[in-house]
Amino acid sequence: MQQYSSDRIRNVVLLSQKGAGKSSVAEAMLFTTGSTSRMGKIEDGNTASDFQPEEVSHHTSLSLAVLACEWKKSKVNLIDVPGDPEFIGEILSGTRVADAAVIVIDAQAGIEVGTELAWKFAGQAELPVMFVLNRMDRENIEFTGVVESLREAFGAVAAVQLPYGSGTGFTGVVDLLGLKGIEFTDTKSKVVDCPAELLDVASAQRDELLDTVVAVDDELTEKYLEDEEITEAEMKAALHTGIRERSVFPLLCMSSTENLGSGEVLNAIVDLLPNAAESLESSNGELSALAFKTIVDPQLGHQTFLKVLSGELSTNTSTHNINKRSDERVGHVLCPVGRQHAEVPAIVAGDICTVAKLSDTLTGDTLVADKNGSAVSGIDFPEPNMALAISPRTKSDVDKLGTALHRMTEEDPTLRVMRDQATGETLLWGMGDSHVNIALEKIQQKFGAQVDVSPPQVPYRETLTKTTTAHGRFKRQSGGHGQFGDVTIVLEPVPGSGDEIEFLDEIRGGAISRNFVPAVEKGVRGAAVDGVLAGFPTAGFRIRLVDGKEHQVDSSDQAFQLAGALAFREGAPEARPTLLEPIHDFHIHVPDAFTGAVIGDLNSRRGRVSGTDQGDAGETIITAEIPLAEAQRYSIDLKQMTRGRGTFGSVFARYDEVPQHLQAAVIAECKKQEV
Ligand SMILES: Nc1nc2c(ncn2[C@@H]2O[C@H](COP(=O)(O)OP(=O)(O)OP(=O)(O)O)[C@@H](O)[C@H]2O)c(=O)[nH]1
Ligand SMILES: [Mg+2]
């Protein structure tokens, strides 16, 4: 691959509803540009983009892929990401390093949930947008209708092409900028006169396009109003400006699987979308490169995707990871085309490459020339919101699972592994059921670790609600030395003290020696770990040690510890023990239309809505408290309720009493599991 200057580079992220055709669009473009010698198919599992085993078996993209190709003396880095929003980590990495987004639309389906999300992701990253109406090889496509609905939803969408027709009729397009026909022949295209039968419609559409385009530039508006001729070059220049400013969004047509129109879309990417030089974050000549994706290959080791944001990155360079404060040696600099790589001597600011075997660098880190460099803003990944408890099936799976989890969390910042201190479970957290299930599949298939999976246990607690005096005596006479300890304690509820257990030594007159007191405390606290209701830790109370007896010879720490434990076990059932459950604060973002349904559902989950606010356009933010026991599957349920449009985050708030009428069921369930 040749070397390109920044102004000859385009970084384009492909976004869409899952399955609209992003990877197929990229595949067609690779073939058209000559990067590949044959076109792969999603169904055959041989596309350049979806090469990971899970992508091949599921016929879908699960991981970001960069596909570099050369077109019209420029380099186009196509960044193909999954359409499934649960793989948001990949999507956010892609939008962070792209300079523009191509939103692919299934021409037959029109605007789908994923199209709205794609628009949102592009907007959040302030990316210029180009729409590509894909699947034009399907029959009966209502081109004008789709364009109208896009305009209604997204504003100044400007069709720069008019398709000859759809299905077998999609044999060419009218280029509305030049008002000429472009016929597709054998995957190449031929410029012809605009077909006579389309001339009227095409002229009317060109006028509409002109209306949108001239609005970008005051001088052009004036010319237009004075009926002066506006040239194709002037239109292109104004379009370019409008696209950069996100005030115009061009639209083109293609069929990726038939490879019709991909050359025209590539032309538009090169001619209309901003180049990397226009999008540089810094004009500083010093090296700074952002790691935006990490692949950990069992054989090849770490492979890091970098976008050079300023300066230049050459092969065999010493760099410094400013986040980790460690030196990193960059060996070969490679331009990725899916799993293939072309080696280059260096890449310039604005370009993307991969490098192998960095030791400390992970996604989000910045590499700079030396210690004086500064970090660029990384990627803001959301917190995962769904967990499953996992455990190795056999001893031989323990190490394999450990390796798998370590590598997979390095690769995917939205995947987390945490040990729940309260339940002792290992929890695998992800962005939803598909995300977590794909991770489980990788654990088993890629790393060969068999795991058992279950919903996470709710870390219930117990507490005491009535002050009770309890007595514990431990006495054993066996041969020589005996064991003796005798204590009286008062168990006193301390509402609102959370997981605290307070201990007060109120022994007066030396009923038991000072040095046995810590043993009593240890005994009571130890017994409280297994609550008397259902075995959950008991807390939120005070232990007052008020009396006791000791034996001159037979008393020991051990005997007093056991006496303390016995006193707790005797007293706690009398102290009206009750069950507590974790309550989480939820922030739920839903389109306005779903607010009622989501709030209704919260009520059925014992949720308490504390407020509703207006979020981004057309979106409501609901804040609510929900008991964790009712929200374990919320990510799946919210997705269903809102047809994939809702998102949420949650944090632990506090423990609350489980309503009395529900306690018996929880206790029975725990007893069943113990058996
Ligand atoms: N008829 C027709 N089918 C297409 C076209 N483009 C893609 N497909 C099919 O649509 C399906 C999904 O295509 P992909 O390229 O995987 O779509 P994607 O947007 O990358 O999907 P995700 O990665 O899952 O989000 C595949 O079965 C493709 O063969 C097209 O232009 N015409
Ligand atoms: Mg794909």
User: Which tokens hold the place of 255?
Assistant: 């069929």
pLDDT, residue 186, reads 67
Give yes or no for a contact between 7 and 277, defined as CB atoms under 8 angstroms apart.
yes
Same domain flag for 229 and 117: yes
Same domain flag for 334 and 445: no
User: Which tokens hold the place of 490?
Assistant: 């008062």
Tell which residue, 4, 15, 2, 102, has the closest CA to residue 308.
4
Same domain flag for 634 and 504: no
Q: Is the shortest distance between the CB of 135 and ligand 1 below 6 Å?
A: yes
CA of 442 to the centre of ligand 2 (A): 18
Q: What is the pLDDT of residues 351-365, one digit of tens each?
A: 999 999 999 999 999
Mutate to test the pocket of ligand 1, among 108, 257, 258 (most ligand atoms within 8 A of CB): 257
Same domain flag for 309 and 206: no
* Beta-carbon count within 10 A of 547 CB: 18
CA of 50 to the centre of ligand 2 (A): 7
21: β partners: none
* Beta-carbon count within 10 A of 218 CB: 9
CA of 611 to the centre of ligand 2 (A): 38
Q: What is the pLDDT of residues 529-550, one digit of tens each?
A: 999 999 999 999 999 999 999 9
Q: Is the shortest distance between the CB of 561 and ligand 1 below 6 Å?
A: no
User: 401 or 675, which is more confident?
Assistant: 401
Which sign, positive or negative, has the C-alpha torsion 630, 633, 634, 640? negative
Nearest CA to ligand 1 atom 12: 19
User: Which tokens hold the place of 499?
Assistant: 């997981």
pLDDT, residue 187, reads 61
Same domain flag for 239 and 358: no
**CB neighbours of 652 closer than 8 A, spacing ≥ 6?**
582, 583, 584, 585
Give yes or no for a contact between 423 and 454, defined as CB atoms under 8 angstroms apart.
no
CA of 604 to the centre of ligand 2 (A): 37
Give yes or no for a contact between 536 and 579, defined as CB atoms under 8 angstroms apart.
yes
pLDDT confidence of 205, banded at 50, 70, 90?
A: very high
CATH assignment at residue 202: 3.40.50.300
> Among the listed ranges 401-405, 474-478, 515-519, which one has the minimum average pLDDT value?
474-478
Q: Which residue has the tokens 């994923």?
A: 114
Same domain flag for 519 and 556: yes
Q: Is the shortest distance between the CB of 114 and ligand 1 below 6 Å?
A: no
Residue 424, H or E segment:
none
In a domain, 380, yes or no: no
pLDDT, residue 57, reads 94
In a domain, 207, yes or no: yes
Same domain flag for 356 and 471: no
In a domain, 597, yes or no: yes
Q: What is the pLDDT of residues 424-459, one digit of tens each?
A: 999 999 999 999 999 999 999 999 999 999 999 999
In a domain, 543, yes or no: yes
> b/e string for 549-567 if b means 16 or more Cβ within 10 A?
ebeeeebbeebbbbbbbbb
The percent of residues in the chain predicted with pLDDT above 70, rounded, is: 99
> b/e string for 310-348 if b means 16 or more Cβ within 10 A?
bbbbebebebbbbbbeeebebeebbbbbbeebeebeebb
- Per the structure, the complete domain to which residue 359 belongs is given by 288-368
Q: Is the shortest distance between the CB of 434 and ligand 1 below 6 Å?
A: no
Q: Is the shortest distance between the CB of 262 and ligand 1 below 6 Å?
A: no
Mutate to test the pocket of ligand 1, among 27, 32, 42 (most ligand atoms within 8 A of CB): 42
With a cut of 90, say whether residue 618 has pLDDT above it.
no
Q: What is the pLDDT of residues 42-63, one digit of tens each?
A: 999 999 999 999 999 999 999 9
The atom number, within ligand 1, closest to the CA of 114 reads 25
The CA-atom distances, in angstroms, between 162 and each of 180, 236, 412 are 10, 17, 41
Same domain flag for 449 and 466: no
Q: How many domains does the chain have?
A: 5
**What's the chain's average pLDDT?**
94
Q: Which residue has the tokens 């040239």?
A: 231
Same domain flag for 548 and 598: no
Count of all residues that appear for the chain in the document? 675
In a domain, 378, yes or no: no
CATH assignment at residue 443: 3.30.70.870
Give the number of the ligand closest to the Cα of residue 104: 1
In a domain, 374, yes or no: no
User: Which tokens hold the place of 427?
Assistant: 């929890």
Nearest CA to ligand 1 atom 26: 42
**Quick one: average pLDDT of 254-282?**
94
Residue 583, H or E segment:
strand 577-591
pLDDT, residue 457, reads 92
First vs last C-alpha separation in the chain: 66
CA of 274 to the centre of ligand 1 (A): 26
Q: Is the shortest distance between the CB of 166 and ligand 1 below 6 Å?
A: no
With a cut of 80, say whether residue 321 has pLDDT above it.
yes
User: 562 or 1, which is more confident?
Assistant: 562
Q: What is the pLDDT of residues 89-104, one digit of tens each?
A: 999 999 999 999 999 9
With a cut of 80, say whether residue 675 has pLDDT above it.
no
Q: Is the shortest distance between the CB of 14 and ligand 1 below 6 Å?
A: no
CATH assignment at residue 647: 3.30.70.240
